[in-house]
Structure 1
Amino acid sequence: MVQILLRVMLMQTITVILMMILIGAFIGGLTNLIAIRMLFRPFKPVYIGRWKLPFTPGLIPKRRDEIAVQLGSLVTGHLITVEGVRSKLFDETLLEEVRTWFRRKVKEISSSEETLEGWWYSQSGGNWSSEDTRTRFTGAVTRSILKTADEYKSTPLDEWLPKPLLVQSRAKIPEITSTILQKGREYVRSPEGKQKIEEMVNRYFSTKGSFGGMVGRMVSNIPVSGRIQYELLRLLEDEKAREFIETQLMKEWNSVKGKSLDELLPDFNWEKRAEQLAQEVARKVPVLSEWDQPLGEWAHRYESRLTDTLMPAVLETLSAIIERNLQRMLLNLKIDEIVRDQVNSFPLPRLEQIILSIAKQELKMITLFGAVIGGSVGLVQGLIVLFVL
């Protein structure tokens, strides 16, 4: 009988201890689970009448603005720094990837059977055409020419032409004089020049009436033209002739450079000439003049220039600009404000879902650890009840 009572008491004790362990584990696990949930929930304050329940909203919703500010400071202060961005932007691997991509793209375009107009039309979503390009280009060139002409055509040449050009032009006058004399001597010595002198002599006497005609016939057998040719050559070789021509050219140049374009070209149609020049430039400009031809027929001519000259120059220029202005660019981007605004605008349920999905195993372990601690506390309490009370 006693043994039965002891067994019953033992079973009751074990049952009490197990119940205390289970209750403690349940309370510990539930407490940790509630604590985890209270990081996010409730998302908004809960009121009973005018009284707000404590711990509402949850920790993250309540401190959301502060968290956003701290995250912004963390990102700009330690994550996205000038040194970090510079090391990534100027990493040789990245630069080589850019070069490889550019070469592949240029190769692909230069071997295409599509016209540049068709390619550009597809790239721009149908908002561009060769006619638009030519019209805009010629219009811009025409406006630029007319603007420049309006600015300078009423001003004397020596006031706006570059001084070195004026000096060089003046220095060319002796050379021009020598060229004129040289060409004159060559012409006078040539058969054409000799024939022209003879024609002039005959024409001179023919204009003097019958007497002149008679004299012309009398001197036709006399080498008058040869004598005139000889005298002309002497004149063209005379230093006085050189000085005279050079002086006249100098006077003419001084007169010209003191005049404006309006004075030199009073009837010049600037608008018409500007349009004609712009059209001619458009026909000569590379790519623009070949807009409607297949890329494979002409683009290969520019392939090496693009890949070997233009691309390195562009990369070097961009690298220098970015490196010189990187700190100011990052400051102007205001990354901390971007992070803060994104955190504040991010849906809390979605944020909770992301964090719980990432830390799912860890949160389960925290809940289980709380249950273990609660169960251990229940066991200790049970043993205290058993042996003390």
Structure 2
Amino acid sequence: MPGYSRSDDSPLGRWWRNVDRTTLICAFILIGFGYILMLAASPAVAVRIGASRNMFIFKQVMFLTLAGIIVTAVSTLSRQAVLRLAQIGGFLMLGATALTLVHGIEIKGARRWIALPLMSLQPSEFLKPCFAVVTGWLLTQRRQSRYFPGMLVAFTLFGVILMLLKSQPDIGMLTVISCVFLAQLFVDGLSLILVGLGIATLIGGGIAAFFLFPHVRSRVERFLHPNVGDHYQIDTALRAFGNGGLTGRGPGEGRVKDLLPDAHADFVFAVAGEEYGMIVCMLIIAVFGVIVVRTLLRLIREDNPFVVISVTGLVTGFGLQAFVNMASTLHLIPTKGMTLPFISYGGSSAMSIALAIGMVLALTRYQPGSTTHAGQGFMTSFKQRRAL
């Protein structure tokens, strides 16, 4: 593909010239890490639960292959097609999230999954990127029509999602979507006073969750009081990092991973630390950082408000999810069952993250003649509003 010239006017040639190739390559690097670490982490977990040694590997190879196809396919879409996909997908996933409350699979007291033939689907994972794009459209549409209640509809949609996630309950996803919405409102021009109020509301919601949900209280208390409760997984994960040191024990030489119940999922970063060391862990962090920072830098030059607000939400959700997983594995924050994008085991996670990155690539791709613009000079207007 790097051989495509500027004179190549084929659809594939135009896509390759205009897409953010750095972010695309970084996404496939993470998928590559997903393959490697699944080979290291999953066999011991499969044997421990009495399944075939390669069960998780075969399934994750399929999931990550689909993820790569989704990233590439969605990145070729026009901005109008991305919006349509988000609207249809968001409507379907909203209904599926509501369905989990009635016919969902209950795991550890939460109903978040719907059983399918080859996997369990978590609709809220797909709801996150669709919500970011739909909200971006709603917040910008009100600039085109003074009679369109975009802000009201966005808050109503957010409230419905909030109630569904609270009922499952899925406090982690609720927090991520709340942060996504708050970031979008900030970029849309929300005053700093209201931003502070929103942050205070998030903090208040966290305090309320501590008293209302026993599993939240348990995780926070175990984080604050290391001598109280069960710390097996986090202690084992920290031991894995210690064993790995700077350069790691080598591929397949990790031992602590055999003792970690969720080594293939929530604690896969610890497997990377033991077998490949701090250097590779820092490389993984750097790849996530490049995707987030590069995307935000591209938005500085973007004048389309729909693109700016939507992509801000998408990259906020992506970066926050990666931070929460790695920080909880390192015991910097209370543990939270949140996957590491493209690296942890999980079909819903891999494909929903692929959808989000594909949308980011499609929306930030140079598309002459795009009609999704809701007004030019957005960043200039944003800076002027902030200066007031």
Same fold (TM over 0.5): no
Q: Which has the higher helix share?
A: 1
Q: Normalised by the size of structure 1, how large is the TM-score?
A: 0.16
Q: Normalised by the size of structure 2, how large is the TM-score?
A: 0.16
The structure number with the bigger radius of gyration is: 1
- Pick 1 or 2: higher relative contact order, CA cutoff 8 A, min separation 6: 1
